């Protein structure tokens, strides 16, 4: 039985991937901040065919308990084949309106939590003979984007850490897949941090017109099963990633024209 731990599993990409792995017969550990929102996902996954679903709620703004959380996730299914660090939070504030408290909160959830999970899980995975770690970044981690200074910074940082992990642990049986979504039809903009730390509470037009989340999940699960190093998820907005690679000046000019909401 394939065993998978997914963070950010109560909605969006995490929920859709959980359902897809469940239909493939995988055992699941599901983590998000709200137990109430996780329980319906767990019930759906069981109905889809998962032989075992464990709910482990956790607030990733608290870094101290992550090693214990990782141990519980590992023991819940007697080991993990795949760990998918997907939990994250976005923002809708300009640089001057983004407090350092907001930057730290975003970094804690988006960057430090996946790093702490990876560090906690690597030892048991290597001892077991290998495993697979996936992490959700963003095209905002490939080029700067208006109203996303903290979010974009956290996603850039993930690339640095997990590309290093790829290099160091490849020969120890550890595979790493970096999942890079563009616009996917999820509720991330609704829960994004706005001025004063309040929730944005609005669906961005770009988000609403994004790739359906089930299509994103299909591509992500397939990429992990094939051991892909990186997978880009989205539509025409992904062209910006290639523009940045070959024409960075043009990418900077285009980014200035993007409507951020």
- Which residues belong to the active site? 151
Q: What are the phi and psi torsion angles at 61 (to 5°)? A: -75, -15
Q: What are the phi and psi torsion angles at 193 (to 5°)? A: -80, 130
How many angstroms separate the CA atoms of 197 and 116, rounded?
24
Whether 14 and 87 have beta carbons less than 8 Å apart is answered as yes
Q: Is the torsion defined by CA of 133, 213, 11, 99 positive or negative?
A: positive
C-alpha of 251 from chain center: 24
Which strands make up the sheet holding 174-181, listed edge to edge?
53-55, 27-31, 3-7, 82-85, 131-136, 174-181, 230-233
Q: What tokens does 213 get?
A: 């989340």
The single-letter DSSP state of residue 193 is: B
For the beta carbon of residue 151, count every other beta carbon within 10 angstroms: 28
Calculated CA dihedral for residues 105, 217, 215, 186, nearest 10 degrees: -20
How many angstroms separate the CA atoms of 220 and 214, rounded?
10
Query: What 3-state class would DSSP assign to 238?
Result: helix
């Amino acid at each position: 039985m394939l065993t998978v731990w997914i963070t950010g599993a109560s909605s969006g990409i995490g929920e859709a991937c959980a359902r897809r792995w469940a239909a493939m017969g995988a055992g699941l550990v599901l983590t998000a901040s709200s137990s109430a929102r996780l329980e319906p996902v767990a019930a759906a996954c069981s109905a889809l065919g998962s032989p075992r679903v464990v709910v482990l709620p956790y607030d990733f703004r608290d870094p101290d308990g992550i090693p214990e959380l990782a141990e519980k996730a590992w023991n819940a299914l007697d080991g993990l084949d795949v760990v998918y660090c997907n939990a994250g939070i976005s923002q809708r504030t300009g640089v001057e309106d983004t407090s350092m408290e907001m930057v730290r909160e975003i970094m804690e959830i988006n960057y430090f939590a996946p790093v702490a999970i990876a560090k906690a899980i690597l030892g048991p995975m290597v001892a077991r003979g290998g495993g697979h770690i996936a992490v959700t970044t963003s095209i905002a981690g490939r080029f700067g984007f208006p109203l996303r200074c903290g979010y974009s910074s956290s996603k850039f940082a993930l690339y640095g850490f997990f590309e290093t992990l790829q290099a160091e642990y490849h020969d120890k049986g550890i595979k790493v897949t970096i999942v890079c979504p563009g616009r996917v039809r999820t509720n991330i903009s609704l829960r994004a941090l706005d001025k004063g730390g309040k929730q944005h509470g609005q669906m961005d037009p770009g988000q609403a017109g994004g790739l359906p989340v089930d299509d994103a999940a299909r591509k992500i699960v397939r990429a992990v099963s094939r051991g892909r190093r990186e997978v880009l998820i989205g539509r025409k907005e992904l062209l910006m990633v290639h523009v940045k690679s070959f024409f960075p000046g043009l990418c900077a000019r285009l980014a200035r024209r993007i409507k951020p909401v």
